[in-house]
Structure 1
Amino acid sequence: MAKFPTPDLKYTTDEQEIIEKLEAKYGRKNRDVDNKHLMDVIKNIFHSCNLVENGVPSLLENADYELMNDDIRYIINKLSWKITCNSACEMDIDKTVHELLDFLSEFSWDAVVVLMLAVFAMNHGELLLLKQSTCENQIAKFLQKLKNPPLSLGSNEDLKLYVEEPLKNLVDQMLSVAEQLVLFKEQALTQKIELSSSVRKVFCIVAYRILQSIVKCISSTMEFVKTGDKYQDFPCKIQRIIRSCRFTAFGDYLKNSKFFELEYNGILWTFKKANDVAILLLNIFLVKGNLIRQFDGINKLKNVNLENFQGNTVGFFITEFNVKEEDFSVLRHTYDQVKKKGFEVLWIPVVDQSIEWKDELLDDHEKVARKMPWWSLASPLSSNNPVWWYIKQDWQFQRTSMLVVLDKYAKVMHTNALPMVNYWREEAYPFSMETEAKLWMAKSPTITKIIQKIKPLPEGEIICVYGSHDMNWVHEFLCFINHLEVKDVEVKTTTIYVGANRRKQKSLKFETENSIFWSEAMMLRFWRDLENVAASKMIQSRENLVDAIKNEFATILSYDYKEDGWALMFNESSKFIFSGKQLKYCWKNIKDWIEKVNKGEDIMNAMTEYLQPLKLGREHCIHLAGPTTINNLVVACPECGRTMEKSFIYKCCVK
């Protein structure tokens, strides 16, 4: 179950023991009562007794009373008799509580709460009715003398100070938490949602505490028959009950949990049952108050018409609030190409929890929305929105932009098609997992194909693609690779500098006649293609990452992350990737292996054979960052084959 941003609720040792015993003894209780109408009756009684200050109780019609069957009336009266009898016999309160729980064992915890409040309301209402009738009814007057109820003792001022005010406080807290509990249960039944174990625990302890409080309170009022007007300790007893029961804490927890859990589970249920993407959008966004809109070519605001989505494949473009235009430029181009085929996009921006949200940020949001040719939410989702939690928990959104694709029947076709779209573009339409798998089988992208796609390379030479963020390393490497002294063997090499990953820092700028220097745009495309292909393959390879992912992608991304530099060397027959550490070792010890090249061996083979027994750079520390949807894989190191340890990686996505 998802962890929602509800108040931190920690049980005391006593509460934890009570919950464990009750759950073990009574398990899942299923019998319900008509909570709504019973609560209306209860609130009307308490309001008439001047124990509820705020709110006007619901008007009750005769039909409302008819909804309460005789069986429920009998149960309420029997509970009242049992409490009265046990209190009169001075039976231990805990023993009485457990007898009542045994009697109510078939009822759900919310039903226990409502039935016990009905008992308390009936008991207190009878006392008040007896007091109010003494002036008009002689029978009531004589009954009061015999029963000596607490409400007849002392002056009105004493009654207010010692009885009404403490009871008012207790009733207010019990009603508040009971209403939260009843509303929670009502919405859960409406949405056909099963309550989580954490919420069931709160239901359990609230029912127990309310039952315990009512028994203590009724027992205390019965003591007045013996003590006469000596009831000054009554407020202290009520305060002890309130402090020990923590009704406010439980009520706050239920209030927040109700919103998040029910809304979140409602979204789960909506996705499971939806069979039309337009209706899904209506239920998820429009009814939640998130206006969907679009800007046309002259920046005129257009509100959504669900017919725009009817029968279309829809992509949810989910990003951070401050997404950059470069992050959706490829998607924008692809959207223009496939829109006529029945593809729509909805931008769902989410607010980073570290950002202090201000109204003026909406202007920035609108500026970004105007650059997008598709629909967008009128305001970003924040962490207090259950849709945000669904996106985070079920689609594993962290901070990196993603594209969740749904077909016209609202079934998820791909939980993140953005890497596929960024690399294959419109060729990947309709952007499903099946299409992605077919593209991999037919195209099988490699690092050399990615490079050739960006810039055609000369044939018959050794191509050396390298990257680094260290100027000194670059100069040393070029000196090594371009000035190899090889006897009687012509070694033609073309060196191409592709910079460093854009997520680390800007690429170096230098001038050299001995190396091709790609433009910033070409470098950016190289790294984006590399990351997109790697991410696409990892998404496709959920069950067997070790065999499926191209080791070269993972290795280069890892070397770029942790090494001073790296180089990919390949020709028509072979291909090798070297880390900065390996290359440094080679150029410092060139005399130990260059002789093999002099004898005609391929330079790449000679370097690899020389490095193999030394196992340089194989300290079991390859860095591999994959999509967060891949959680339970055993991953082998692309370099040495050993199983990699799993740990958390904190990545900053600042470009």
Structure 2
Amino acid sequence: MAITQPKGDEASNRSMSSYYEGVLIDEVLETHDDYDKLAFPLKPVLDIIELIFGGATAEFPGVIQGLLSQEDGDDHKAVYSGPHDRLELPRVTTAISDMIFCDWLDGGDAHKTTMDILHMIKHYNWDAKLVLVVAAFAMNFGGFRLVAQLHFTNPLAKAVALLKKLPEMLEFSGNMKPKLKVLFVLIKAILDMVKTIVELCELFCKEDFTAESPEVIATSSADVAIAVYWTIRGTVDCASQFVGLIGIGPNYLLLETWDVASLAHKLEKIRSQLVHQINVCYRFIEKKKDDEILDGIARVLESSHIDNSKSLNILFHENGHQQALFDCLHQNLVSIKDLRGKVVGLYITDLDIVTEDYLILQQMYPEMLDDQRRIEYQYEIVWVPVVDHWTNRKDRQFESLRDQMEWLSVNRPSEIASQVIRYFRERCNFVKKPILVVMDTEGKIVHKDAIQMFCIWGNQAYPFSLDKETSLWQKMSWTVSLLAEGIDQYLPDWIQEGKHICLYGGEDIEWIRKFTRTAKGVALGSGIDLEMLYVGKDRARERVVRKIANAIQREKLSKVLGWKLISYFWLRMEKMCISEPPEGITEELTKSELFVPTDPVFAAMTDETMPDFSLPNDRVFSAQTYNPIFSGIIKILSFGSSSKGWAAISGGSENPLLFEADGEALLKALTEHEKWKQSAENYGFVTALAR
């Protein structure tokens, strides 16, 4: 008849097991004296223990003398060449040895013997307790092994072997092999646990940890105590097995093979938890060292020095045998010493670098090469590719990209220190989007991302510092110069001559025809000199823009920006919008005048009703929350995101500020020129148009 376990018994058994484990832990902890610590050097003793147990941890032949023999070779030299021969092992070791090898003959059980030993060594640290107990076992085990190994060749060993009935045991060697192999598995588990506990306790003694460190707290006294208990318990069981083996005979082994294997498994399970904690500790120590190196790098890079050599060296570690940089244009190595006296822009990217920012940098850099005598062009760009794991394929990709550049590159990016990479990622916020980290001539990082600055002002932003950015923003106002700086060759002359300038865009060719012809007619009737420039739309399709541009040029409607310059124009707009002026600049900019149309024709375009505009990087801006410059930029970007027409008009020397509006509203206002013609004579053309 099958016996079925009652429902709930399994959970009940687990609960009872946890209860008894808790009681056992409390009992073991009570044996430990934390105040009066005794100590001795553990490492030399542990080395000798490991040597004695060495033959018990290998694969063995089938006979006992083979099982217990091993050519120790240099291990003997290791023992006698150091301080091991002068060991001062505590005398308590002998008492422990007597207890673990004799108590079971007097009817004692393994638990009682284990607890008695723990009381005997209560004044030692947990790791010292284990070393003492296992050393006590190793003394007897080592003697047994030595006799078994030498009794065929050494008369004295043979005599001892006869007294210990070793020849009789050899008769049963075949039957004993499975039991001995399991026993040796337990011995290995004991040795591994001792080394683990010693390593763990040594870690917690390091200055990296305090009593409050999470890594220390995670491994409680209870974890160590239960590991020590079961290891000593395993040692006591091993001793009883060997006493039964050599004193009574192979038929009198006290524990079944299954019990020994189960105990070895239990020790290994406990040890695996402690090993995990050791790994956590090592990662903590490594992270702490890494953080210290990172902080040291940051201190160097964010301080001024005699020149930039020290900072560049800490980044790229140039030595006398290998120059750190590579001149991509001339295909030769360059020393960091060649960058003394220059501002250095560190272009940090991954290997996917073909972006709009990259194309602008490529466009600006040749200007510096053409005229290096000008002080504002005394800088170098160094490409620093950042890749998590370099492979042969990525190395080839890096070399291919490098050959297409004109500036400098790190010669061996795979050798850049991990802490330097961390600095770029954590202190400069590099993720995937390229950044331009700027170092001044004294080796100090003065801007952690000057990409926006470079795209907006180009080489005029030299030396690309935050102070320079502040200065540039302080000089800015909502004029056509800001909107189209460096975009078109005619603009500087138009501005110098005080002409009215109209920038317009869109993809509706019919509106473009009506708007340009109407605007020219109104300008002629008003006696103003008006120049018009088509700047397309944001993220336009090249084919569509070229078709419209060809029509404009063919019909001589206005001047047209080239396709690349159109892309650059809109990229600058985006960079201006996402570029955050230094603190204090925004408030100053808001004091600038801004045209706010009051005519009902333009009511839809006032700040109060202006819709939010989402930029490509998912940042959302609300026009009413920004100063005049950013309000105007956002309006134009919102116009540019549509195919409909739009325009921005400046009043020339009479009023250089811009007025921007939706194309249909603006065209309607121009067709009604007669209504505000008189006002234009009094207040100016653009002012009257805006009113």
TM-score by length of 2: 0.58
Map of 2:658 onto structure 1:
575
**Structure 1 gaps, min length 5:** 1-13, 19-28, 105-111, 146-152, 610-655
Over 3 Å counting, the alpha-carbon distance change for 1:331 and 1:595 in structure 2 is closer
Give distance in 1, aligned partners of 2:501 and 2:386: 43
Q: Does 1:401 align with 2:434?
A: yes
Partner SS for 1:323? coil
Question: What's the CA shift for 1:429?
Answer: 3.8
Question: What's the CA shift for 1:49?
Answer: 1.4
AA matched with 2:254? D
Q: Where do residues 14-53 of structure 1 align in structure 2 (5 Å cutoff)?
A: 42=46, 45-50=49-54
Higher deviation after alignment, 485-494 or 510-519: 485-494
Give distance in 1, aligned partners of 2:388 and 2:570: 25
Q: Does 1:157 align with 2:177?
A: yes
Give distance in 2, aligned partners of 1:34 and 1:279: 47
The one of 551, 554, 558 equivalent to 2:630 is 551
Question: What's the CA shift for 1:222?
Answer: 2.7
Give distance in 1, aligned partners of 2:476 and 2:513: 33
Question: What's the CA shift for 1:397?
Answer: 1.0
Percent same amino acid at aligned positions? Answer: 15
Question: What's the CA shift for 1:519?
Answer: 0.6
Q: Does 1:368 align with 2:398?
A: no
How many residue pairs end up in the alignment?
537
Q: 1:282-304 CA distances to partner (integer Å, 9 max, x unpaired)? A: 444438999733137653x42x5
Asked whether the 8 Å contact 2:438–2:445 carries over to 1, the reply is yes
Partner SS for 1:454? coil
Q: Does 1:222 align with 2:252?
A: no
Q: Where do residues 215-614 of structure 1 align in structure 2 (5 Å cutoff)?
A: 215-223=229-237, 229-232=254-257, 233-243=259-269, 245-246=272-273, 262-263=289-290, 265-272=292-299, 277-286=308-317, 292-295=324-327, 298-299=330-331, 301-302=332-333, 305=335, 307-308=337-338, 313-324=343-354, 326-330=359-363, 332-333=365-366, 336=369, 343-351=379-387, 359-372=392-405, 374-380=407-413, 385-407=418-440, 410-442=443-475, 448-451=481-484, 453-455=486-488, 456=491, 457=494, 463-468=501-506, 471-472=507-508, 475-476=510-511, 479=514, 482-483=517-518, 490=526, 494-501=531-538, 508-509=545-546, 510=548, 511-512=551-552, 513=555, 514-534=557-577, 537-538=580-581, 550-552=629-631, 554-556=633-635, 558-559=637-638, 563-564=642-643, 567-572=646-651, 573=655, 574-578=657-661, 583=663, 586=665, 597=676, 600=679
Question: What's the CA shift for 1:394?
Answer: 1.4
AA matched with 2:230? K
Question: What's the CA shift for 1:263?
Answer: 3.5
Root-mean-square deviation (Å):
6.2
Give distance in 1, aligned partners of 2:92 and 2:515: 93
Question: What's the CA shift for 1:445?
Answer: 7.8
Question: What's the CA shift for 1:412?
Answer: 2.0
Question: What's the CA shift for 1:90?
Answer: 4.8
**Structure 2 gaps, min length 5:** 1-17, 23-33, 60-71, 104-108, 149-155, 166-172, 242-252, 588-620
Q: 1:47-69 CA distances to partner (integer Å, 9 max, x unpaired)? A: 5412777999995787767999x
AA matched with 2:141? L
Question: What's the CA shift for 1:268?
Answer: 2.7
Higher radius of gyration, 1 or 2: 2
Higher deviation after alignment, 243-252 or 315-324: 243-252
Map of 2:30 onto structure 1:
none
Give distance in 2, aligned partners of 1:373 and 1:222: 75
Question: What's the CA shift for 1:137?
Answer: 9.6
AA matched with 1:218? I
Question: What's the CA shift for 1:236?
Answer: 1.9
Give distance in 1, aligned partners of 2:279 and 2:137: 27
Question: What's the CA shift for 1:185?
Answer: 9.5
Map of 1:128 onto structure 2:
141
Asked whether the 8 Å contact 1:405–1:416 carries over to 2, the reply is yes
